[in-house]
């Protein structure tokens, strides 16, 4: 087959020549054949690429890992000390916080190892090994073991990864797992061996007035003055292997940690970032960019804005609610504002026009090559967009409302199991289901849930959803509202939140004492959750059907673009695998008459201070340190205290917490954000505007030592003056 022949070819994107741009989230395993060294050294790299990544020896790669479920962290001491962002550690900080111990407000500083707090559920993952499995996938397609379309699927790739582990020398080793993923839209495949440590303890976190200084207002903005960092530590068993939490565990003696540079930075200095960027979509067509704007971003903005308005008021009125919903609100707000900024930047930066120009060039290229697949692929993608746009909108409205927005519901599958057990009068099955229901109730009414706050959210979002989608996208419970509650949303929601089995402990205990089929069948929460699931399944099925063979179309388009642009570098889209990006420290000019220099100082914190705005409160101790200029050896030569800086590195979500390193591979900061003007960067990289915002490592150490009083942590680091 023609497609299989193309699959067997060496990926043309791997033959690169030097490029002017800093665009590219590069695969470590391809650095040699892509000749990255020459380009990086031309911009200031002093070490060899083997010092960054080598399959045969320890390198910088071994000091970087996945922190939690969606961030990057780096090892900064021989004893497993992790540096990441404050917003990455926010869940853990919030998990340990209470009204009595409000670490969100006050910060947390472990002065010795015994004070470090175990954090259940938090993990740190290292990449142990990377293997190219493209030939194996192609052979499986050729042999009929998998279709080309299904080669993208999780079922096939999981089986491939599991079989690879069984045959590996790492089989049976503690904490080892495997993951196989497609790259370049399925033109390449790589297998990753991952080592996961599950005993990760909280060590240090500044108060939110430092770690989240500027809040929503400054998010995605420059100039920035946020001390966005936190510290944790990996613990292992006595052999250094991953192990569940135990008092007997010890700090991990790591094979690599980053040295920290206090030498400072200047405009034009080399900067590289290693981390786990989550997702980019650089190969979208013009119509697909419009789909992102209208089908994802706009619905997300509308639903999150409505929910956040409720949460703001409730959090401002209660410290208990503020702590409960701090992480939820921060998570929601982050990509609410990102979606707003992305839609604006797509227009401001003429992304649609750029994509249209690319498609016109691609059409000429296809004609020159006399390639029928290339000539027709964009039109076929446009047809796909026409089919899926209304369904994409409905799915976004649904998931934002009923999966991310409203928390209350019933574990209807367990209730279904209980119904079967009751019908058959099987005592053991009844007892088992009731025990599962107890877990389900506890999961709903957890420490970070407030029933009355969620009720208020539901009263806003349930009517909003009905206004936003066609009638055939409404779950069945909307008919109940119409017929039994005369269309009164508030009356229905009050009944749902007051009378259901899962509404409160009293109702739940009463049901446990006398579980009946009638009670389950008549329960509003069971009906509500069941109808939600039925509609979600329908929406997914309709969407999947409308998608058709879009994965194969993308595969063809990306392969064609790589050929068209060769030998210009084209990196694969981000997919939360380890990547390297290189660039320089650099200022920028966002618009006429405005210049942003490449760094900020503590002076800016004081200029932004507003005691009446919780986003801009400055801790008294920080003001005292500023007044006395008690900066130690972390100050600039002019005596000022640096806070944040800008680079041209290509990053996205998932890179939060990533190490920013100088030409010697020494740590100079931690990446935490991008700039407002380039929020279309996940779709189209802008050479002039794209900036990475990082917290200066000198500000981190200054806060740790002078405000946190943790000289013990400074002493275990390797610091280069």
Q: Which residues are catalytic?
A: 87, 228, 656
What is the distance, to the nearest Å, from the Cα of residue 462 to the centroid of all Cα atoms in its chain? Answer: 27
Q: Tell me whether strands 659-661 and 667-674 are parallel, antiparallel or unpaired.
A: antiparallel
- Do the beta carbons of residue 388 and residue 546 sit within 8 Å? yes
Q: What is the DSSP string of 460-489?
A: HHHHHHHHHS-GGGS-THHHHHHHHSTT-H
Contacts of 477 (CB under 8 A, 6+ apart): 492, 524, 527, 528, 531, 532
Query: Which 3-state string (H, E, C) describes 585-616?
Result: ECCEEEECCEEECCEEEHHHHHHHCCCCCHHH
From the list 699, 681, 673, 691, the residue with the least C-alpha distance to 586 is 691
Q: Give the burial string for 70-91 (b: 16+ CB within 10 Å, else e).
A: ebbbbbbbbbbbbbbbbbbbbb
DSSP 8-state class, residue 240: S
Cα–Cα distance for residue pair 155/391, rounded to 1 Å: 25
Taken as a whole, the chain contains a residue count of: 721
Continuous segment of H or E residues that includes residue 503? none
Q: Give the count of beta carbons closer than 10 Å to the beta carbon of residue 330.
A: 18
**Cβ within 8 Å of residue 131, ≥6 positions away:** 164, 190, 191, 192, 193
Residue with tokens 């998608």: 547
CB-neighbour burial class of residue 56 (10 A; exposed 0-12, middle 13-18, buried 19+):
exposed
Instruction: Please count the CA atoms within 13 angstroms of the CA of 284 that sit on its side-chain side.
Output: 24
Cα distance between residue 539 and residue 398, in whole Å? 9
Cβ pair 668, 697 in contact under 8 A: yes
**Whole-Å CA distances, 125 to 223, 262, 506:** 32, 28, 43
Give CA separation, 573 vs 23, 35, 369, 579, 709, in Å.
11, 19, 25, 10, 42
Q: Virtual CA dihedral for 6, 7, 11, 13, nearest 10 degrees?
A: 70
What does the block give as tokens for 455?
């009720």
CA distance 296 to 290: 10
Sequence-distant (6+) residues with CB within 8 A of 488 are 481
474, 531 contact by CB (below 8 A): no
3-state secondary structure of 720: strand
Q: CA-to-CA distance for 187 and 152, rounded, in angstroms?
A: 10
Query: Measured between alpha carbons, how far is residue 11 from residues 26, 138, 542, 570, 572 in Å?
Result: 15, 13, 34, 11, 11
Q: Tell me the backbone φ, ψ of residue 659, rounded to 5 degrees.
A: -70, 135
Peptide bond into 671 cis (omega under 30): no
User: Token pair for residue 580?
Assistant: 């390297």
Structure-token pair, residue 656:
């939060």
């Amino acid at each position: 087959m023609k497609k299989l022949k193309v699959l067997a070819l060496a990926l043309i994107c791997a033959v690169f020549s030097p490029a002017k741009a800093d665009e590219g989230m590069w695969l470590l395993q391809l650095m040699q054949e892509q000749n990255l060294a020459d380009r990086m050294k031309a911009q200031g790299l002093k070490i060899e690429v083997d010092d960054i990544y080598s399959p045969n020896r320890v390198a910088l790669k071994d000091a970087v890992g996945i922190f939690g479920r969606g961030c990057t962290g780096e090892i900064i001491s021989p004893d497993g000390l992790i540096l990441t962002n404050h917003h990455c550690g926010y869940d853990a900080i919030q998990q340990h916080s209470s009204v009595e111990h409000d670490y969100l407000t006050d910060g947390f500083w472990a002065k010795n190892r015994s004070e470090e707090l175990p954090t259940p559920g938090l993990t740190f993952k290292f990449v142990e090994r990377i293997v190219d499995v493209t030939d194996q996938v192609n052979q499986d397609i050729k042999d009929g073991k998998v279709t080309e379309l299904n080669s993208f699927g999780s079922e096939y790739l999981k089986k491939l990864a599991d079989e690879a582990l069984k045959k590996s020398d790492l089989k049976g080793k503690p904490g080892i797992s495997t993951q196989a993923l497609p790259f370049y839209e399925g033109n390449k495949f790589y297998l990753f061996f991952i080592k996961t440590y599950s005993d990760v303890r909280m060590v240090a976190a500044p108060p939110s007035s430092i770690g989240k200084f500027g809040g929503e207002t400054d998010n995605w903005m420059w100039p920035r003055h946020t001390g966005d960092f936190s510290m944790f530590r990996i613990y292992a068993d006595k052999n250094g292997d991953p192990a569940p939490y135990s008092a007997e565990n010890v700090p991990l003696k790591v094979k690599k940690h980053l040295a920290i540079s206090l030498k400072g930075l200047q405009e034009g200095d080399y900067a590289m970032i290693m981390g786990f960027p989550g997702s980019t979509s650089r190969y979208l067509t013009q119509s697909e960019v419009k789909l992102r704007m209208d089908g994802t971003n706009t619905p997300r903005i509308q639903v999150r804005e409505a929910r956040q308005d409720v949460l703001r008021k409730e959090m401002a009125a209660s410290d208990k609610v503020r702590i409960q919903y701090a992480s939820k609100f921060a998570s929601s707000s982050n990509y609410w504002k990102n979606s707003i900024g992305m839609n604006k930047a797509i227009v401001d930066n003429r992304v649609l026009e750029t994509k249209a120009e690319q498609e016109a060039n691609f059409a000429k290229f296809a004609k020159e090559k006399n390639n029928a697949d290339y000539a027709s692929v964009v039109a076929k993608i446009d047809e796909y967009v026409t089919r899926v746009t209304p369904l994409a909108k409905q799915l976004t409205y649904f998931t934002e409302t009923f999966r991310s927005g409203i928390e209350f519901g019933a574990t209807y599958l367990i209730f279904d199991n209980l119904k079967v057990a009751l019908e058959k009068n099987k005592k053991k099955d009844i007892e088992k289901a009731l025990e599962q229901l107890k877990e389900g109730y506890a999961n709903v009414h957890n420490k970070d849930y407030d029933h009355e706050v969620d009720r208020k959210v539901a009263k806003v979002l349930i009517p909003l959803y009905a206004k936003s989608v066609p009638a055939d996208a409404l779950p069945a419970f909307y008919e109940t509202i119409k017929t039994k509650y005369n269309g009164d949303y508030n009356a229905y929601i009050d009944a749902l939140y007051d009378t259901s089995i899962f509404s409160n402990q009293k109702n739940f205990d009463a049901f446990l004492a006398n579980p009946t089929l009638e009670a389950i069948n008549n329960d509003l929460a069971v009906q509500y959750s069941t109808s939600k699931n039925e509609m979600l399944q329908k929406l997914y099925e309709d969407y999947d059907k409308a998608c058709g063979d879009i994965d194969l179309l993308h595969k063809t388009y990306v392969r064609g673009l790589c050929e068209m642009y060769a030998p210009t570098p084209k990196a694969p889209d981000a997919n939360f695998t380890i990547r390297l990006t290189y660039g320089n420290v650099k200022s920028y000019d966002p618009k006429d008459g405005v210049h942003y220099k490449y760094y900020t100082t503590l002076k800016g914190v004081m200029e932004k201070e507003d005691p009446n705005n919780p986003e801009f409160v400055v801790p008294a101790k920080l003001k005292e340190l500023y007044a006395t200029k008690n900066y130690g050896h972390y100050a600039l030569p002019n005596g000022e205290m640096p806070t944040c800086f800008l680079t041209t590195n290509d990053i996205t979500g998932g890179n939060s917490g990533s190490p920013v390193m100088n030409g010697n591979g020494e740590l100079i900061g931690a990446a935490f954000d991008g700039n407002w003007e380039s929020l279309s960067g996940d779709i189209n990289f802008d050479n002039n505007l794209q900036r990475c915002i990082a917290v200066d490592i000198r500000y981190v150490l200054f806060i740790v030592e002078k405000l946190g009083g943790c000289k013990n942590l400074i002493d275990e680091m390797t610091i280069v003056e």
